[in-house]
């Protein structure tokens, strides 16, 4: 009769360990970095002392959860009276977040040194943001999800504005913060209506209560619409995408890379939890709405990317269009579609991170390296980087045998299976547009002469991460079996 054990059981602890590790090491960096590493010239030790052990222990905890699920044969572990659920879905996304954090932490050292803003807080915020993502993928309660989202978003606001003396970084942080907080307001309003209609904050109870109501009931529709606005902001779907190009361009490039993959993956996990859970019954009302949003997202993302001269901004619009493709998987909604979203997220992490890492390497002491012209003649200067960039761009464009093709293949397959022919045709047409602007970058790399001869800013971490991303981008495309099985496991939800 220990009163505390009633509220914090062994299972609760087991489920929470990854988040505890991330929060513990994140806070440890914030509190102890100047104490353990007083000399600024030794900041490179931050990585092996704090970040790698933190991520390692998180990975170990996730691996134990995975092993437990496999051994027990049950589909899920629920904790805190159903507020958290560990299942194939949450584990899949948590692995994705872990990989993204690891790669970004590995490549940041040199870049932040060049920017003159290499502080321990940077790594602390990355770990804390990842703990927020953990709650987004694992949470099955409105309160948990809301807190997880805000924890992640607050860390990102600070990270985007991490270059304190840089006007562009400030501005990007301000725009991201104002629009992000605005969208959180909508989301919270939608949540309050969901709670009011059903009398519960648990996704499962909300789903069973809402299933008894008509999809076009005005209250249900209002709750769905406000929640959707909040969620679509986070995945930067048109017409709620205005923040993305500015935040991506102004943020430090390593943060842009992290923001574009991890935040997007977490927001998609959140989106799938809400739309395939509580709102599954009102599909009739949200399917046409999201179809329009998906078409607009692909249109604006692809067409606006054509005229961009800043590589970060171009990749920002390309990531908007990728969000549109991922939305198509949700609209199809059958197992192929959801598996397609999972595959797409996994593939997108490697190819998009890889493309941004090349931009990270282009930043030199006296050179921003963000314009398309800065890629000029890369094949003559650093052939290895040019080839890797080519692999990532081919994959982003969705050309076989790279991984990007696989992601798009499952999305379009699911659309055809469920009879959404129009969406499939529109999506395929925009792939052709995308090839055009990705190949503008390729042309610049391969056909023009080098204007700058300064070597790229590389580091061991960057080279390892780039090689790993490129290897996986090709591996998933050439031998997809194990990765498809991984994505298949995310269906148990």
Partner 1 sequence: MTGVPLSWYLILSALLFALGVAGFLFRRNIITVFMSIELMLNAVNLSFVAFSYQLKQVNGHIFTFFVMVVAAAEAAVGLAIILTVFKNRETLNVDEVNSLKN
Minimum Å distance from CB 420 to partner 1? 32
Residue the block writes with tokens 């990705």: 438
Q: Is the dihedral of CA 170, 173, 179, 185 positive or negative?
A: negative
3-state secondary structure of 242: coil
Q: Which is nearer to partner 1, 131 or 402 (CB)?
A: 131
Q: Is the dihedral of CA 316, 317, 322, 328 positive or negative?
A: positive
Question: In the structure encoding, which two tokens stand for residue 14, read together?
Answer: 């087991």
Q: Which is nearer to partner 1, 66 or 209 (CB)?
A: 209
Q: Which is nearer to partner 1, 14 or 182 (CB)?
A: 182
Q: Which is nearer to partner 1, 173 or 272 (CB)?
A: 173
Minimum Å distance from CB 180 to partner 1? 9
Q: Is the dihedral of CA 422, 424, 425, 431 positive or negative?
A: positive
Q: Which is nearer to partner 1, 194 or 415 (CB)?
A: 194
Minimum Å distance from CB 135 to partner 1? 12
Q: Which is nearer to partner 1, 138 or 489 (CB)?
A: 138
Q: Which is nearer to partner 1, 321 or 469 (CB)?
A: 321
CB 349 within 8 A of CB 100: yes
Q: Which is nearer to partner 1, 52 or 154 (CB)?
A: 154
Q: Which is nearer to partner 1, 190 or 427 (CB)?
A: 190
Minimum Å distance from CB 168 to partner 1? 6
Minimum Å distance from CB 77 to partner 1? 23
Residue 103 half-sphere exposure toward CB, CA atoms < 13 A:
33
Residue 378 CB partners (closer than 8 Å, separation 6+): 385, 386, 389, 444, 445, 446, 450
Residue 432 half-sphere exposure toward CB, CA atoms < 13 A:
4
Q: CA-to-CA distance for 27 and 38, rounded, in angstroms?
A: 17
Question: In the structure encoding, which two tokens stand for residue 434, read together?
Answer: 């995308």
Minimum Å distance from CB 178 to partner 1? 6
Nearest CA-CA partner of 446 in 383, 354, 393, 398: 383
Helix or strand (DSSP H, E) at 78: strand 76-79
Minimum Å distance from CB 201 to partner 1? 5
Interior angle at CA 223, CA 221 and CA 225, nearest 5: 65
Minimum Å distance from CB 195 to partner 1? 6
Q: Which is nearer to partner 1, 167 or 485 (CB)?
A: 167
What Å distances lie between residue 165 and 117, 170, 355, CA to CA? 10, 8, 26
Q: CA-to-CA distance for 168 and 17, rounded, in angstroms?
A: 38
Minimum Å distance from CB 421 to partner 1? 33
* Site residues for partner 1 per CB under 8 A: 142-143, 146-147, 150, 154, 157-158, 161, 164-165, 167-168, 170-175, 177-178, 181-182, 184-186, 188-189, 191-193, 195-196, 199-201, 245-246, 249-250, 304, 307-308, 313
Minimum Å distance from CB 440 to partner 1? 16
Q: CA-to-CA distance for 185 and 352, rounded, in angstroms?
A: 30
CB 236 within 8 A of CB 244: yes
Question: In the structure encoding, which two tokens stand for residue 272, read together?
Answer: 């799938």
């Amino acid at each position: 009769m220990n009163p505390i054990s009633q509220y914090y059981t062994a299972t609760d602890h087991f489920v929470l360990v990854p988040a505890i590790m991330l929060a513990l090491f994140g806070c440890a960096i914030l509190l102890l970095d100047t104490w353990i590493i007083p000399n600024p010239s030794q900041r490179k030790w931050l990585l092996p002392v704090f970040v790698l052990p933190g991520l390692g222990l998180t990975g170990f905890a996730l691996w134990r959860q995975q092993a437990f699920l496999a051994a027990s044969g049950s589909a899920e572990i629920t904790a805190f009276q159903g507020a958290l659920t560990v299942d194939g879905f949450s584990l899949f996304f948590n692995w994705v977040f872990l990989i993204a954090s690891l790669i970004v932490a590995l490549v940041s050292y040199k870049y932040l040194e060049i920017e003159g803003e290499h502080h321990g807080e940077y790594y602390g915020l990355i770990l804390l943001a990842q703990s927020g993502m953990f709650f987004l993928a694992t949470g099955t309660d409105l309160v948990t999800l809301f807190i997880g989202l805000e924890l992640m978003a607050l860390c990102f606001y600070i990270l985007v504005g991490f270059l304190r003396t840089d006007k562009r970084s400030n501005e990007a942080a301000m725009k991201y913060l104002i629009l992000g907080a605005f969208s959180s307001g909508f989301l919270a309003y939608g949540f309050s209506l969901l709670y009011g209609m059903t009398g519960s904050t648990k996704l499962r109870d909300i789903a069973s209560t809402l299933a008894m109501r008509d999809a076009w009931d005005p209250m249900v529709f209002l709750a769905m619409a406000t929640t959707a606005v909040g969620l679509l902001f986070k995945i930067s779907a048109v017409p709620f995408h205005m923040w993305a190009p500015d935040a991506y361009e102004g943020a430090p490039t390593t943060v842009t890379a992290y923001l574009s993959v991890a935040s997007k993956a977490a927001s998609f996990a959140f989106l799938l939890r809400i739309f395939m859970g509580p709102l599954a019954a009102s599909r009739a009302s949200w399917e046409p709405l999201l179809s329009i949003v998906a078409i607009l997202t692909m249109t604006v993302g692809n067409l606006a990317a054509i005229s961009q001269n800043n590589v970060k901004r171009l990749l920002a619009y390309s990531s908007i269009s990728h969000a549109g493709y991922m939305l198509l998987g949700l609209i199809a909604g059958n197992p192929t579609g959801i598996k397609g979203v999972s595959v797409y997220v996994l593939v997108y992490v490697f190819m998009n991170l890889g493309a941004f890492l090349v931009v990270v390497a282009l930043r030199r002491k006296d050179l921003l390296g963000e314009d398309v012209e800065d890629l000029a003649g890369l094949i003559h200067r650093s052939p290895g980087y040019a080839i890797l960039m080519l692999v990532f761009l081919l994959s982003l464009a969705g050309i076989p045998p790279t991984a990007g093709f696989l992601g798009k293949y499952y999305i379009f397959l699911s659309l055809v299976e469920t009879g959404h022919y129009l969406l499939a045709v529109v999506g395929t047409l925009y792939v052709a547009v995308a090839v055009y602007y990705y190949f503008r970058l390729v042309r610049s790399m391969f056909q023009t002469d080098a204007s700058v001869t300064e070597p790229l800013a590389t580091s061991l971490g960057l080279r390892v991460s780039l090689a790993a991303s490129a290897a996986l981008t090709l591996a998933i495309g050439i031998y997809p079996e194990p990765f498809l099985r991984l994505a298949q496991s995310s269906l148990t939800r």
